[in-house]
Homo-oligomer: A and B are copies of this chain.
Amino acid sequence: MNKFKVTFQPNNKTVEVPKDTTVLSAAISCGVSIKSDCGGDGVCGRCKVVVKKGEVLTQPTGMLNDEERKRNIYLACITTIHSDLEVEVLPESRIDPSSRLKGIYSKSEEIESKEAVSSDKVFKHSPLSTKLYLELPPPNLNDTASDLDRLFRAIRKAQDLPVMQTGLSNIRQLGELLRGCEWKVTVTLGKRNDTVEVVLVEPQDTSNKNFGVCFDIGTTTISGQLVDLNSKKILGTKATYNQQASFGSDVITRIIYARQNEGIEKLHSAVTGTMNLMIKELTVEHKVNLNDLTCVVCTGNTTMIHLLLLVDPTYIRREPYVPTANFLPVLRASEAGIIINPRGLLACVPGVSSYVGGDTTAGVLSSGLYNETDLCILIDIGTNGEIALGNKDFLVACAASAGPAFEGSGVSCGMRASNGAIQKVKISPKDFSVTCSTIGEAKPRGICGSGYIDLIAQMLETGVIDRGGKIKLENHKRVRDSESGKEFVLVFKEDSASSKDIVINEADIENLKRAKAAIYSATAVLVKHMNFMLDDVKKIFIAGGFGTSLDIESAIKIGLLPDLVRSKFVFIGNSALAGARQMLLSAEATKLAEEIARKITYFELSVDSGYMDEYMAALFFPHTDLNRFRPRDK
């Protein structure tokens, strides 16, 4: 078998691969991240590379224009290697931590996330791991209890704890450690299911340094938060794209990729790599020592949690759709490759089923939905959208595959809700001039989810687009043809931070329309399935990584959310992350999360005979059935 050397720029990484390997595979195998939303099917056109030197074979594609072809640009996923190559990954196809182009920022950014933090107060403060300072009585000839007994005795005297254990590595260092610090030590006590582990024994009083991290691992976006476990204070919140996105934009393509040779290992490394980078940034910025990070709580959809733990997700997508685990024991973070204190713990928010994961559980927990008397609904808008319906008497949930558009991925100028993201848009009905407001009031760099929602609502309102999503405005400097249909220029390059026009094209609009249709139809079908009317719902919790704002009015206008009395809507931001933090901070919340996960009934949309019709009917702005979106008392 012939082997060829391929060098990737700008990473300057070289790998030797067999003939006929795709350029995308070669890139992945040497750790070069290339965007690919479709998982290598040749349909998303994101994985563009320039072949600088060497021979390749490629397949026909409509994703490249003539100019690109002239410049020797290829789609990495459908192009195979037939000689030694030198390849440059195009800026817009790069997804590595240092790239800062076209709205893709792998370096995580500080975000200010609006969340249902108020309910934190409800739960008794008892973090997953606590530190306890002890001054042990030194042994003497009349008190010769062993070091370990002495330590356990002192812990039990201070706290009434269930079964207690510790690891051999702690025992090994105990004799020297206790004597070196004159019997003054701080123990870190970790809750491992119904037992308590002495996770760490440290010399002297370090009890004021106890930190935890919580993560919401989304298919597209990973959000993380550094928390002071003593004060419950959130020190910092970050979000970044999940580096797994190189391997496909949704959970299904990831599951398929996991079956490939070393696929699961690569997906695992991608997610833990992203998380470890965030941890490092958070701890450096907030001057926290990694060793003082004693626990992590993760939530995410079931596939994300499987990949995090390197557990085969194959059976999630095979009938009868059974995951390997919804409830996971508390593990050591290092077992999952998460870099905190080497003995620190990792808990995962329990999931419900293959397609309703711990993120839903966490959302139901932090929103307080589980405790409501009235009928409520939680709509978590994400790549894998989840909708939970119920109250304190029942809980039912379903998943809607919306795609990553609302997270700013898979759309031409999309970006996360971070500095420079256009989050509010106003279009003048007179001259179609555009007024944008960006996060951090920075020069605009791209459009985030809430910006797109606003934008489409404004385009609809001003007649820039029709209800089908086609651009109708003509003969205007902001409208022009593009490879992806017509496009509307929001910000001209003079005013853009990226020095490129910030646009929305018809393909983007189609993308966003499908996303909103998935969420809306899932909501409608779920409510109907339970024999309720949408109007019966008394409270609608809207969750998602939209930063601090989401214009409910715009969301209804485009048909993402049902047209209900406005006062029923509560925007709760990243409710999954908030729930994970509650578990980090309280054993009571952990217990409740377990109860919630057991209580939620999973509803599989695809088995509902009306779902496809609902979805198709929702592929208009706001809907084919305008009676659903009628003027009403607001």
Contacts and interface: CB of A to CB of B under 8 A. Distances in A.
Interface string A295-317: 00000000000000111101100
A323 B149 CA distance: 10
A194 interface: yes
Interface string A148-166: 1110000000000011011
Interface stretch (A127-135, A170-178, A559-567): A170-178
A531 interface: no
9 contacts: A141-B321, A144-B353, A146-B322, A147-B324, A148-B325, A167-B329, A168-B309, A168-B331, A175-B314
A141 B319 contact: yes
A123 interface: no
A179 interface: yes
Tell me how many chains of this kind the complex includes. 2
A335 B146 contact: no
A193 interface: yes
B329 A166 contact: yes
Interface string A348-363: 0000011000000000
Contacts of A62: none
Contacts of A192: 165
Nearest to A322: B139
Contacts of A323: 146-147
Contacts of A149: 325-327
Contacts of A354: 144
Contacts of A260: none
A148 B312 CA distance: 13
A320 B139 contact: yes
A322 B172 contact: no
A321 B168 CA distance: 21
A254 to B, nearest CB: 16
B172 A311 contact: yes
A629 interface: no
A611 interface: no
Nearest to A331: B168
A195 interface: yes
A146 B325 contact: yes
A140 interface: yes
Nearest to A323: B146
Contacts of A569: none
Given A139-B322, A167-B329, 4 more contacts: A147-B323, A149-B326, A163-B194, A194-B195
A429 to B, nearest CB: 51
A284 interface: no
Contacts of A331: 168
Contacts of A148: 324-328
Interface in A594-617: 602, 604, 607
